[in-house]
Amino acid sequence: MENIKLIINFLGQLLPAINITLIVSVSSIVLGSLLGLGLAAAKQSQSIILRVLSSIYVSVIRATPSIIMIFVVYYGMPLLFSGWLHINIEGWNRMYFVIIALTLLFSAPVSEIMRSAYESISKGQMEAGLMVGMTPFQTFYRILLPQAFVVALPNFANSAINLLKEGALTFTIGVVDMVAKAQMIVANNSGGYAWQTYCALALIYWVISLAIDKGVTLVEKSYQAKRKTIAA
Amino acid sequence: MSLNTDFMVKVAQTAIQGVPVTLQIVLVALLISLPVGCLFALIRIYRVKGLEQIVKLYVSFVRGTPIIAQILIVYSAFPSLLNMIIGKAAFSINPIYYAYIVFTLNSIATLTEVFRSALQTVDKGQMEAGLMVGMQPRQTFWRIILPQALISALPNITNATLYLIKNSSLAFIMSVKDITAIAKTEAAFNYNFLEAYLVVWIYYLIICYSAEVIFYLLERYFSKFRRSTKKTNLFNWRPLSIKQPEVRAEADLTESERTNHAQNRGLKKRL
């Protein structure tokens, strides 16, 4: 009972730091999806160079540990910018470096998800759309995209949860997010109540990922209900 | 902008001592979690009362929390727990054992899901046919079901192994002397962090690619009977065309549909 009381107490202390975690995750999900879309388009393109480059990028990113990526971006980008563009970015908010690193990490799986979702849709759909006189863009937007969206959704949510978990490494370069906050609390208690604090931390992450999971299941169900009505 | 190449060579030489440690963590975690994951998957499939709920909760917890939180929990809770049992000796345990515990617990959860989906792909008729010809249920499972399930599980096991290798770079938080930890201490002398991490990055790329090649060979060996006749050339050569195995959207197409797709794509290009 004592432990549970402590955990609830620590929950209250940790929760204010949640906004850093959310800002980092949401902005890298948005930016990473855009980059992933570009990559997926590059993989579909006619040019061999683009195709090879994007597949090399994806396979390299896939084999990169997230912590190494964060460190390389954090220490490498200022050097790159001052060497090539003569801009000093050392003073940037450290959150930007994390967002860039996570964007790079997120874009690779997302590009694969988008590509496989796009390819899972029968080519006849595109042809039928063109046949009835829609423009290629209209066909893509009205016919292909809604179908591909449903296919991609579970995998996309899975990657988003992974990203959220990788975002917990933000503290390694000195951003005060929930993990850093938890470590501070432990330090303040001179190392006492460590596991209760970290359990509170884990609980918060667990709730967020369960919420994402449930939300996606609901959306999927609503889409399937629509599908059934059409079939009947 | 210039990199200190002498330092990079030096880090490359010292950090290589960390490679066995990383591999050790990965191997121990994999070897323990493969059978346990399989067992947990069976518990979930056969809905063993009581145990099923526990496994479900465990998998959901491990998959829903960052590995860093798991590391911190285990690393802070276990020493004091052991202290109660074996006394002061608990604090002199090599931290690599904590790394084994964390990464094993973590990959058990991933592999449970992998095996669950793999075992469900095997048709129920296979079990019935096995029982029909007079095999014991256990025999049928070992000889008929498991070999087939393994084939469909292998790409996902590869994926889980890659995650494990990548996550093992976090062992430095538990003061395990793995590749990352060695590079970090080397870099701290002269603040050459970028050079050190670039070297580490290359090491991880090499390790991940070798793991991928090994699993690719395994997969080819186990799926001899359904191998396609596609020839390897520069563009579908494995390292260039590595896909994310967790994405299985195309997999629900039938074989004929897939060839249809390929033909359509070829047609589109010619047009």
Give the pLDDT confidence of A8-65 residue by residue, as tens digits.
777 777 788 888 888 889 999 999 999 998 998 888 888 889 889 988 898 898 888 8
| Euclidean distance between CA atoms B249 and A117, whole angstroms | 6
What are B120-129's contacts with CB under 8 Å, separation 24+?
B120/B45, B121/B148, B121/B149, B121/B152, B122/B148, B122/B149, B122/B152
Confidence of residue A102 (pLDDT cuts 50, 70, 90): very high
Q: Is the dihedral of CA B193, A81, A34, A171 positive or negative?
A: positive
Residues 6+ apart with CB under 8 A from A77: A89, A97, A100
pLDDT for res B239 = 56
Structural domains in chain B, sorted by start:
5-225 (1.10.3720.10)
Option in B193, B204, B249 nearest A64 (CB): B204
Structure token pair of residue A212: 């994402």
Q: By three-state DSSP, how is residue B189 classified? A: helix
* Max Cα-Cα span within chain A: 72
Smallest Cα distance from A205 to chain B, Å: 5
pLDDT > 90? residue B97? no
- CB atoms A79 and B269 under 8 Å: no
pLDDT for res A227 = 62
pLDDT for res B78 = 78
How many structural domains are present in chain A?
Answer: 1
- CB atoms B208 and A56 under 8 Å: no
| Euclidean distance between CA atoms B227 and B145, whole angstroms | 19
CATH number at residue A79: 1.10.3720.10
Interface of A with B in 40-79 (CB under 8 A): 46, 48, 51-52, 55-56, 58-60, 62-68, 71-72, 75-76, 79
pLDDT for res A232 = 44
| Euclidean distance between CA atoms B251 and B151, whole angstroms | 14
Inter-chain CB pairs, A–B, below 8 Å:
156
Residues 6+ apart with CB under 8 A from A144: A118, A121, A125, A126, A129
Q: By three-state DSSP, how is residue B15 classified? A: helix
pTM of the entire predicted model: 0.80
Lowest model confidence (mean pLDDT) among A11-20, B149-158, B231-240: B231-240
pLDDT for res B37 = 92
Structure token pair of residue B113: 């899901």
Lowest model confidence (mean pLDDT) among A143-152, A180-189, A221-230, B110-119: A221-230
Q: Is any Cβ of chain B less than 8 angstroms from the Cβ of A193?
A: no
| Euclidean distance between CA atoms B92 and B90, whole angstroms | 6
Q: Do B17 and B199 form a contact (C-beta atoms < 8 A)? A: no
- CB atoms A64 and B169 under 8 Å: no
Predicted ipTM > 0.90: no
Smallest Cα distance from A229 to chain B, Å: 22
| Euclidean distance between CA atoms A20 and A25, whole angstroms | 9
- CB atoms B72 and A46 under 8 Å: no
- The angle that helices A2-14 and A178-188 make with each other, rounded to 10 degrees, is 130
Q: Which residue range is the domain that position A7 belongs to?
A: 2-231
Residue holding tokens 């799926």? B223
Give the pLDDT confidence of B15-36 residue by residue, as tens digits.
888 889 889 999 999 999 999 9
Based on DSSP, count helices (H) and strands (E) in chain A, helices before strands.
10, 0
